[in-house]
């Protein structure tokens, strides 16, 4: 069905999505300062979306016969709002790059469903990157 390379990449994607969903939720809880309420809500909203991504990728991986990971990538919360946003922007940049690789690999393997799934997730990740970038503007 799917190559080992694609299965491994889907598991890595799940680990990344679990990581940022936990990371953004902790940031939502721990952010302080005058903008905490507004930005905390952004962290919470995006964290929920990331968990849904993890679930969708896990469902696809299960269908393809892969063994699901339960371990997130390393979580980095940050100490202040600016540091949190910088960390999150970088995480989204990594996801965008990685998900483009998965889209290309799925296309190469003629896996239209996985390709479409990651194109949709990629669109959301670009939106998250834009949100974090906008919040970092002075």
- Inter-residue contact 126 to 94 (CB < 8 Å): no
Domains of the chain, each with CATH number or no CATH: 4-136 (1.20.1260.10)
Q: DSSP for 28-68?
A: HHH--STTHHHHHHHHHHHHHHHHHHHHHHHHHHHHTTPPP
Please give the angle made by the CA atoms of 81, 38 and 29, to the nearest 5 degrees: 60
Q: What is the pTM of this model?
A: 0.95
pLDDT digits 0-9 by tens, 15-33: 999 999 999 999 999 999 9
What pLDDT score does 1 carry?
74
- Among 124, 138, 130, 109, which Cα is nearest to 56's? 124
């Amino acid at each position: 069905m799917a190559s080992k390379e694609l299965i491994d990449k889907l598991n890595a994607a799940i680990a990344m999505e679990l990581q940022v969903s936990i990371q953004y939720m902790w940031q939502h809880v721990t952010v302080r300062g005058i903008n905490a309420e507004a930005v905390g809500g952004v962290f919470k909203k995006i964290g929920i979306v990331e968990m849904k991504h993890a679930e969708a990728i896990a469902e696809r991986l299960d269908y393809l016969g892969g063994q699901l990971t339960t371990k997130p990538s390393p979580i980095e919360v940050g100490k202040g709002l600016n540091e949190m946003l910088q960390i999150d922007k970088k995480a989204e940049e990594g996801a965008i790059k990685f998900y483009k690789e998965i889209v290309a690999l799925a296309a190469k393997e003629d896996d239209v469903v996985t390709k479409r799934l990651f194109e949709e997730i990629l669109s959301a990740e670009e939106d998250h990157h834009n949100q974090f970038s906008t919040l970092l503007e002075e």
